Amino acid sequence: MKTPHPQIEVRNLSIAYGDFVLLKNLNFTVNRGDIFIIMGGSGCGKSSLLRVLTGLTPISGGQVIIDGTNFGNATTETKNKIMRRCGILYQSGALFSSMTLAENIALPLQQYTNYSPQLIKELVELKLALVGLAGFEDFYPSEISGGMKKRAGLARALALDPEIVYFDEPSAGLDPISSKLLDDLIIDINQSLGTTIVVVTHELASIFNIGTNSIFLDGNSKSITGSGNPNELLKNPPNEQIYNFLTRGTK
């Protein structure tokens, strides 16, 4: 078994909006190659934590360390370098409706590389093929299904070959079949490319299907009340709240 290599280390992290403390004293580690699940009930702070990890929301206290660099107090230049190595799939896919899928995926390559137009075209085709959308280069977002939009958004998130990809509720709004296809795609990308995946979700099927590690956020204590492989947490739940969360709909 390989020795775990920490890629994201969260130490005594607090998230607050003015005087309102949303989360406090968070401590966890995302190892390289993890499919790491951030789970919990509605309003517990899952998406807020994701925004802190991606630099969209400032840290109120504590540290977020990415590959040994303190991301929270880094310079803008250093933060930008770190985020160049990350991709984000937003809940809606966040594709530009006036652009074709090829134009959407080409955008980060045009902005952040000096690649030739021909190389960008080839990379766009490769990324779309990777997510099962070969041949859809000239389609607009309005012309494809919700599941296909999510996959196109993932292709864009993978455009710069990121080491870490963040997902915000990837299965939201998808039917069970499309959700399962997206889960399988996440596993394939993790295993074939070695990409570290961080997923915010409350969908049980996805949690158990893809998660290798996880944390459970509790809105009452504003902290982490459980962590570990989701399937192991189901077998040995550390508290009643996590048991109820992981068995909802089965009792």
For residue 151, the tally of other CB atoms under 10 A from its CB is 25
In a domain, 220, yes or no: yes
Position 140 confidence tier, pLDDT thresholds 50, 70, 90: very high
Task: Please give the mean pLDDT across all residues of the chain.
Answer: 92
Domain that holds residue 41: 33-46+81-247
Residue 42 CB coordination number (10 Å):
7
Give the mean pLDDT of 121-127.
Answer: 96
Q: Report the number of distinct structural domains present in the chain.
A: 1
The whole-number pLDDT of residue 141 equals 94
For residue 76, CA distances in Å to 71, 80, 81 come to 10, 6, 9
* pLDDT interval class at 51 (50, 70, 90): very high
Q: Is residue 226 part of a domain?
A: yes
Please provide the DSSP assignment of 189-248 as one string. HHHHH--EEEEE---HHHHHHH-SEEEEEETTTTEEEEES-HHHHHHS-SSHHHHHHHHT
169 within some domain: yes
User: Does 144 map to a domain?
Assistant: yes
Q: Is 207 a residue whose pLDDT tops 80?
A: yes
Q: Within a domain: residue 70?
A: no
Residue 103 reports pLDDT greater than 70: yes
Domain-embedded: residue 57: no
Please state the pTM of the whole predicted model.
0.92
Output the domain CATH number for residue 230: 3.40.50.300
